[in-house]
Amino acid sequence: MNLDWKSLIVLTNPPVNPRMAVIYPVEGDNIFMVGLLGIGKTYPPTDKAGFMEFAKQIGVVEVQEIIEKSKPVSSIFGYREIGSRKYLFDKMKKWPDNFIALGDSVCSFNPIYGRGITVVAMCAKILKSQLENNRKTNNPIEKGFDQSFQRKVAKANSFPWLIGTSEDLRWPRSEGTRPNPLTKIMQKYVNDVMLLGPGSEIATRSFFAMLHLLKSPLVLFHPSIILHILYKKLVKNIKKLIK
């Protein structure tokens, strides 16, 4: 199949469209992973007809076309879990000796944002460095090692948790404290960056670098991204005035 794109991502549009699609090559250029995702209880069905109907409801014809024209190499797999979950192990007054927890056992993120493995890897690096430091002091395991590690894990989880949950809170049915005005402004700005996506390499790269925790969110405030957003808004307003 000749395609003029490398990956096709249709994002949700809170609070209007809870459906999302991700299509990208997984082995060479001939095998693609097709993922249909829904927010809340908008579950993509795992039977072929239901899957196609969900793809249609995404409202982007290319999603439907590529599924229709392709030959499946596996059956459809589904995963149904809503929300994110975090245990405050770092706040526990009593903690068993020589016991640590990391990964999903501490904090499990809504998989729609795809960053659980990244955070586990970050925590594994923290553990390595803490063990190396401990070895230098010649103690087998120093007292408080585990609780100190749990605090570092909590810190590593905090930013991905914040960006994931504030995204989830855009949906009226999500439970939790509503975002404050500053968070709402940030959500709107991130939305504007995403909308630049297909036409702006720097916006796309910056957005994914932030999403996959490779760079700080400040990367989204590159002057050329800000100017591009302002330019788009100016053009939009001029068009409105002309009408």
Ligand X SMILES: Cc1cc2nc3c(=O)[nH]c(=O)nc-3n(C[C@H](O)[C@H](O)[C@H](O)COP(=O)(O)OP(=O)(O)OC[C@H]3O[C@@H](n4cnc5c(N)ncnc54)[C@H](O)[C@@H]3O)c2cc1C
Residue window 164-203: x/- pattern of binding to ligand X, with contact defined by CB under 6 A: ----------------------------------------
How many alpha carbons fall within 13 Å on the CB side of residue 86? 19
Phi-psi region of 176 (alpha: psi -120 to 50; beta: other; left: phi over 0): left
* Residue of closest CB approach to ligand X: 116
d(CA 20, CA 11): 5
Task: Rule CB under 6 A: say whether 220 interacts with ligand X.
Answer: no
- Minimum CB–partner distance for residue 112 and ligand X (Å): 8
Q: Select from 26-34, 38-46, 113-121, 181-189 the region that touches ligand X (CB under 6 A).
A: 113-121
Task: Rule CB under 6 A: say whether 83 interacts with ligand X.
Answer: no
Task: Rule CB under 6 A: say whether 228 interacts with ligand X.
Answer: no
By beta-carbon proximity to ligand X, the closer residue of 116 and 164 is 116
Encoding tokens for residue 206? Answer: 């910056």
Q: Select from 3-11, 98-106, 150-158, 234-242 the region that touches ligand X (CB under 6 A).
A: 98-106
- Minimum CB–partner distance for residue 79 and ligand X (Å): 4
d(CA 210, CA 167): 14
By beta-carbon proximity to ligand X, the closer residue of 67 and 123 is 123
- Minimum CB–partner distance for residue 160 and ligand X (Å): 10
Those residues with Cβ within 8 angstroms of residue 28's Cβ, 6 or more apart along the chain or in another chain: none
Which burial class, exposed, middle or buried, applies to 130 when counting CB atoms under 10 A from its CB (0-12, 13-18, 19+)?
A: middle
d(CA 157, CA 122): 9
The neighbour count for residue 140, using CB atoms within 10 Å, is: 8
Task: Rule CB under 6 A: say whether 9 interacts with ligand X.
Answer: no
Which burial class, exposed, middle or buried, applies to 217 when counting CB atoms under 10 A from its CB (0-12, 13-18, 19+)?
A: middle
Q: Select from 26-34, 90-98, 116-124, 168-176 the region that touches ligand X (CB under 6 A).
A: 116-124
Kindly determine how many residues on this chain lie close enough to bind ligand X according to the rule CB under 6 A: 11
* Interface residues toward ligand X, by CB under 6 A: 79, 103-105, 111, 114-118, 120
